[in-house]
Structure 1
Amino acid sequence: MDALKKIIKYIITFLVIVVFLYNAFIITFSQLFINFFFSKNPIKRQESLNLTKKRFILLLVTIYSVVAHSKIRLTIDTTTINPNAIALDPKTKLIKTHLASTSVIMSNHQIYTDWVFLWWITYTSNLAGSVYIMLKKSLEYIPILGYGMRNYRFIFMSRKWNLDKVNLHNHLTELNTDALGCGRLSGNLPKRVSIEGEFDWGQNTVSNLNSIHWPYSLILFPEGTNLSEHTRSKSAQFAKKIDLEPYENVLVPHTTGIREVLLKLRQSCEYVYDSTIGYSAVKKEEYGQDVYKLFDIFLKGKAPKIVDIHMRAFKLSDIPIDDEEEFNDWIFNIWREKDAFMNYYYQNGDFSTLPNTKSITSICGVTTYEYIAILFLPVTTTVLLFGVILKKLCPFF
């Protein structure tokens, strides 16, 4: 029986690799096709690339749900988010949300798949094709995937402000003007380019009547890295340097980048969603990245039974972004509250019993149609190929 289970696990692992590579090839080929044939039609190009962006998260979630079977328990703070903004879809049995069409989602960072679950949350609001993520610069050079992420207009950061400032400025101002309907996707160009290379779009943010206001959900992790023994030590040193009391369960956030994001998006961004993520079976004294390793999750199915996500919302107009000192105090206080949320989580096992909350649980999955769209061709092709090989090797089959 144990031998059979091992064989089944190996087969599933093999099929996972096949499904991922097959779909990664399809996505990459599609992007090459889109970039070539729609090079002079920016709107059609962006719409098509957004479809490939959505397909990528569908791919990851499909694989994840097949091997891991995790559930997501989404808890919202009803004092800042309308209770009707989340529900359980009676047809799909998946969480359905209504996030703002232009928002920033910030979160603590525990394991390498944090962004997958936050991206899935945007999928439940039909915004999966409008996600943008701030990532480490090194990820830009991953074969095939790096090309795809550049097409998705993800923002790659080197974590050195003198190198990141211009890159971040240009990405964010384009995101902002496109959301307002007066950017490149509306046929406009920057008014000028500075000596440093920063785009200046001028003061004109009035869109054309027929222009598209492009939505976005920008996901970022102000801590900059996963919580671990090493990063906790470095974070404590940084806290001491800036005369801040170290947190118990989260790292000290870097304020410069997140403030720059909010300043550049202030004309278009409606809300900042503060997300706090907790993982079942990870104890207070443990580190999520050690308990749930990336390859173990996707290849071995070793994943949390429940991913707990607590979300609250802040109107950007209520955040003191103009004054650097006030903003730093604000973000450090948000992370202090986040630290308290994590203490509550470790003591109680979830966020759903916090005051003024509403909680809904569903599998981390996609619709049946989307499962079929991702799995059918690679699995069918592999099975048929195995059949041909088996027939060649063993004619009596």
Structure 2
Amino acid sequence: MRTTVQKYGGTSVADVPAMRRVADWVAHSHHEGNPTVVVVSARGGETDQLLRLAGEVNPDRPPREVDQLLATGECAAAALLAMAVRRLGVPAHSLSGPRAGILASGRHGAGVIAAVDTTEIRHRLADGDVVVVAGFQGLNAAGDVITLGRGGSDTTAVALAAELSAARCEIYTDVPGVLTADPRVVPNARVLPGVDPNVMAEMAFAGARVLHSRAVELAAMERVEVHVRSSFMPGAGTVISGRAVEEMLETRNSIVAVAHDLDVARVLVRTATSGRDPAPEVLAVLAAHTVPVDLVARSGPQEDEFRIGFTIRRSDVDEVLTPLREAVAPLDGRVRVDAHVGKVSVIGMGLLNRPECTARMLAALATAGIPTSWVSISQLRTSAIVPRDRVVEAVSLLHETFGLAGAVPSMATV
């Protein structure tokens, strides 16, 4: 039978009862005859605790040593889960990311998977073992452990599924699937039974936390079918596949979900005109630090002052603010950051061909007195910047405006 790859997030293995529940599910997969590979994140809260400890020991937090430290969280979770599975009489073997053949490149804290050598995993599967892999980490060319940054465990699972030609990659989390909005903000958000990979990637980039955009993009490239399910309640969850486009996308409604992101900062760079365009230098700073940029707008060549505005993650501001100021200093440039903002987005298909969706979105926010700025529109997403303290209100309003509500997910209905 084809291998099944499962991934469990930090909340799914946060304590002993949760760990044993996951072990039961893994054992069930093994007893069905499926060669099973499990990828785990660090237990809930452990990564933050390790980061705090690193800061207390050394406020500079050297990146290489931080990676060595953080990798232990996933390794501990993998070893504990393997023990829990063995307790059920199922052979299980834990592997660190490097031992599992995850080869990575890039800078510490933001590595990317370069290749996967599945020799050790295949050997263990041939012996009849369940293989439990520590996510979020790999081995770089210098022989050091390197962590994979945001979404690292999701990406590890998808990469292993691709290299092992797995039947599917199952992502288990603390929500019942991909929903029309964050259920912590919109209690009547509805589970989407199927989502196109391109739509899912936009949702993830716009702030949906259930699955990282890197993992979605890799799954689409490698044609890996991803199933997102809850590890706390039964249910079909959501299938992310090119074949799994929900019926509503092509008929009643072009909007499928509302996403929001509070990890946002608005950056405005101004310089005097000098005969050369500073935009490439500004964007090169962001690229050098692997910082994604969104909602970019700039002045034209005939204007008296050069201006470029964009949004980045608020958590990345400290890393790039000084290099940005240094890049524009020769032109008497200034960099201003506004961290009191958030981003709300409506996600769907064909939005450039349906300008009424953007008009409806902005009209609803304006009627509620929620100011917007820096609007961006693509075929799959319309995003607007709003005041940070109005984001939750905006999400609920747009979810209602586009008729996305459904029954509250429960054990019986999911």
TM-score, L = length of structure 1: 0.25
User: Which of the two has greater helix per residue?
Assistant: 1
Q: Which has the higher contact order (CA 8 A, sep 6+)?
A: 1
